[in-house]
Structure 1
Amino acid sequence: MGNEYGIHTIDTGFVRQQFDAAYLVVDGDRAAFIDCGTNYAVPRMMAALDAAGLTPQHVDWLILTHVHLDHAGGAGELIAQLPNAKLVVHPRGARHMIDPSQLWAGASAVYGEAVMDETYGRLRPIPAERVVEAPDGHIVHLGNRPLLCIDTPGHAKHHIAIYDEKANACFTGDTFGLSYRELDTDKGPFIIPTTSPVQFDPEALHDSIDRLLAMKPAAMYLTHYGRVEQVERLAADLHAQIDAMVALAREANGKPNRHEALKSALADLYASRAEAHGCLQGRDAMEALVLGMDITLNAQGLEVWLDNEQRRSA
């Protein structure tokens, strides 16, 4: 799927259809990928390039919004197939792309080696000379098209968003929340924040959302999932929910079944907001269809934040 600005949405196929997006940005005969999914998405990335009438030699950049494996796991395999491309990544993420052993070990400790192999495939290191660090304000030149990298912590400390001046749009990674097309109504997109482990920081996330809004973009391109407009309304929705989610986390803290209590409270929050938005699926169907995994991850991330906050104030 492309638009007049040469932006093509690629479904990486991770988890389910229309869940995890990467993008191909084409300007003249030069191209950049933004995010890449897992190893198993690499054929889809190459197919998108072919469909755009381009070859691997036309790709100058692979830009990662952050190094979570659902968006960056395939970076090494993809770069290996792009002879002229360099990887652009937040300075905090660069070492993990050059030597992904720590990323792999951390995730494997949670999920186990077998699940990691099946879900992501082995992580391929990227030669250091092909990695470009993108601090706040770094500009990637795609031909004559500047792509501005903006430091956007809150979801992860190693997160950048990319502002494309030509399209007047931001590629937001996970900073600007999750919005699944199944939950669109005649009021437009429905959105929730993502607070997945382990670096959720509510104040930083509020600030990052405001920084993106200050660019006055016409649209946001989310990794979960696709292009959304109505950006001011969605930003207000995100701000309100971040505060509500933090309040629910504090409320659940100290309960013996904190995780389950928080998951239930989050499900209630999202269901009531979705119903007000005109989503008619109902809470159970909505959890089964799209939000079940997100509710669990959001609860886990909020709990990590709670525990860290308690340690800091101790």
Structure 2
Amino acid sequence: MPADTLQALGHGVHAVDTGFQRPRFDAAYLIVDRGRAAFIDTGTRHALPRLLGALESLGLGIDAVDWVIPTHVHLDHAGGVGPLMQALPRARLLVHPRGARHMIDPSALYQGALAVYGQAEMDRSYGQLVGVDPERVQTTTDGMTVALGGRRLEFIDTPGHALHHHCIWDPVSRGWFTGDTFGLSYRELDNAAGQPWIFPTSTPVQFQPEALRASVERLLARTPEAVYLTHYGRLGNVAELGRHQLALLDEVVALGRGLRDHPQRHQALCEGLRQLYRRSLRAHGCTLPDEAIEATLALDIELNAQGMGVWLDRERR
């Protein structure tokens, strides 16, 4: 396992860098309590050696894992679920009810991702998907809790980024595992004081800004001490980050509606997001050159513009 793959975050929570795309881009989380363990998000199937290596580094056997919990079934969060479940004989899968069928039979999930990314990227980054035995799959409900060692993890339904998204509350760390609901934050874009910048994600195909706002506000209502983002890491100062993200969300919505009928809408959305992010980062105190900012955010700009297009077309209907 590469150095710096496993990071202890306190309260029995560990981040595992899955190695997807670049360092510190995609995290899985391993929670350990009284010798019992749960993975939250898994990365792609290529992350399996790192996930199993994290257990070994912590002195845990494969039979110590009770739960595998994708926040939602997008492949950077759940592409590794099938192979991981095959490697963990005692684990059960906890998944949003809208995502369960895609974990049991991932063929439609694969085809949907193929339409977004293309065959070359699917082969390079994701590989083939593996289904999970339905007898090992348990769906969650809003407000449901499950035991992990001496703590209980709570699930809430959080649409907005995806209809098949739930977030997980850990009362010991007083933190939310937010998948993509609470946005994205890359360490390369922290300012000189080490303060993070955060932005909402609208990747295809279920972006719903009103629902996303409601979900973020619901997370904030718990007054969490931390959020654990898949992209990327544990962040504090949650109330301020939430306010900033919701303000950017309003700007994204205004940008999209202003360009709804643009003859070259996708390109205009990409350029609008590029300018919006750069302006926000400069106000935040980010000192990276414009070219470095654009390189860091290039994939997100493209996917967010695609997702905004789907949302705008749905609004028109």
Category of TM-score, reference length = shorter chain: over 0.9
Cα contact 1:176–1:222 (8 A) shared by 2 = yes
1:244 counterpart residue number: 251
Aligned pairs, number = 310
Cα contact 1:187–1:277 (8 A) shared by 2 = no
Q: Decide which of 288, 292, 298 is 1:292's aligned counterpart.
A: 298
Q: Which structure 2 residue ranges, 5 or more long, are not aligned?
A: 1-6
Cα contact 1:275–1:282 (8 A) shared by 2 = no
Q: Decide which of 242, 245, 257 is 2:264's aligned counterpart.
A: 257
Tell me the CA shift for residue 30 of structure 1. Answer: 0.2
Identity value in percent = 56
CA distance in 2, matches of 1:46, 1:53: 11
CA offsets, 1:12-49, max 9 Å, x none?
11111110111000001100000000110000000111
Cα distance change of structure 1 residues 98 and 123 upon mapping to structure 2, 3 Å threshold: same
CA distance in 2, matches of 1:101, 1:187: 42
Q: Residue type of the partner of 1:160?
A: H
CA distance in 1, matches of 2:276, 2:119: 35
Q: Residue type of the partner of 1:3?
A: L
1:172 counterpart residue number: 178
Q: Decide which of 7, 11, 16 is 2:22's aligned counterpart.
A: 16
Tell me the CA shift for residue 111 of structure 1. Answer: 3.4
> For structure 1, which segment, 132-141 or 106-115, has the greater mean C-alpha deviation from structure 2 after superposition?
106-115
Tell me the CA shift for residue 3 of structure 1. Answer: 2.9
Tell me the CA shift for residue 135 of structure 1. Answer: 1.4
Cα contact 2:9–2:15 (8 A) shared by 1 = no
Structure 1 residue 27 and structure 2 residue 33: aligned? yes
CA offsets, 1:173-217, max 9 Å, x none?
000000001111216110010010100000100000011111111
Q: Decide which of 84, 107, 115 is 1:78's aligned counterpart.
A: 84
1:281 counterpart residue number: 288
Cα contact 2:70–2:78 (8 A) shared by 1 = yes
1:151 counterpart residue number: 157
1:301 counterpart residue number: 307
Q: Which structure 1 residue ranges, 5 or more long, are not aligned?
A: none
1:97 counterpart residue number: 103
2:197 counterpart residue number: 190
2:124 counterpart residue number: 118
Cα contact 1:14–1:70 (8 A) shared by 2 = yes
Tell me the CA shift for residue 279 of structure 1. Answer: 0.2
Runs of 4+ in 1 over 4 A off after TM superposition: none
2:4 counterpart residue number: none
CA distance in 1, matches of 2:277, 2:109: 31
Q: CA RMSD in A?
A: 1.1
Tell me the secondary structure at the aligned position of residue 2 of structure 1: strand
With normalisation by structure 2, the TM-score equals 0.96
2:42 counterpart residue number: 36
Tell me the CA shift for residue 154 of structure 1. Answer: 0.3
CA distance in 2, matches of 1:73, 1:187: 31
CA offsets, 1:80-139, max 9 Å, x none?
000100000000000100111111122223434443232111111100010010111111
1:214 counterpart residue number: 221
With normalisation by structure 1, the TM-score equals 0.96
